[in-house]
Structure 1
């Protein structure tokens, strides 16, 4: 099952009892200044997998995006991994000269492993195109913890989707052992439509200059 809610912010004490499909966050409304971080943190606690709904993954989708739900469910149903930490969407990259972009020549994850890249360089990472992406709930809770890297970085108001990918990379490198992260890469599967460069299912050119 997939549960959907419209997420608004910038209202600390508002209620919308007549709008059951609206979630109001206690956070400033913004594009790049922490709303995405706050949503993943909020949702990871609000939706308990032992409760009635049993939420296992949390995602975000832009208002100008379209997700083919049946195709998404098929992709998820055919995905298999031993790693409990999952990051899904269309793997993306941007101009490496910008401070919030992955290092040059990293490319995309290999074999659905967020830690492994064709470039083979240390420090490589990637992120998901911002039209739609999702994370396993428990990973989202830990990555989006209060006073963690993602929380602190959000005050810089850099492109939110690149920062989300970097937050997962930073989280994965912390501690005595590197944490595994499995990638559900939906590139080319026509699961997500979002007006990237030409506005098709997949851009005709590599989106090096489009960070989100």
Structure 2
């Protein structure tokens, strides 16, 4: 499963002389889920706070997922960032924007998070049992972060996602389902005929462009999730 993300690594504020230590990717055995604890936010605002307030070398999260379901790559996986004290050496930090003690993940955010964490766990050969919330780590039990049920989240990570990969030349009921979803989002493929032709491809490309997705005209997991499915 391939997930396309927005690379912010060269764009975020960094400390003028501090740098994070580095590691090999083979050292990574854990994924830590955080929430921002704020109603709104962005990779830029988190980076400014971490650098200017904490004096850190840069943003503490490797990835940030916003309420629109956009995944931002903020630090290289080889960087040992500060996100879960005493557990940073072996972990990747993923932050979901929101305060989930007071609100719920949006549908886009939840589906994007599940798809991306599945992909990341597979890429790094990390078992789902090693996808843990911030407050599941020793020394962090009093934290409210990430504010969601990690048992439930891990259960959903183990579920197989059944929506197919669709591209030009495909046909059938699944393409009709796609065409209906595109129309609901305001991207009309000029009919619901079950044929993935040039007009459906154009509607997909236009939708991907409008939603800051990787533009390839192919409907994979991230495009499905951005469609709210």
Q: Which has the higher strand share?
A: 1
Q: Which has the higher helix share?
A: 2
From the CA coordinates, give the structure whose radius of gyration is larger: 2
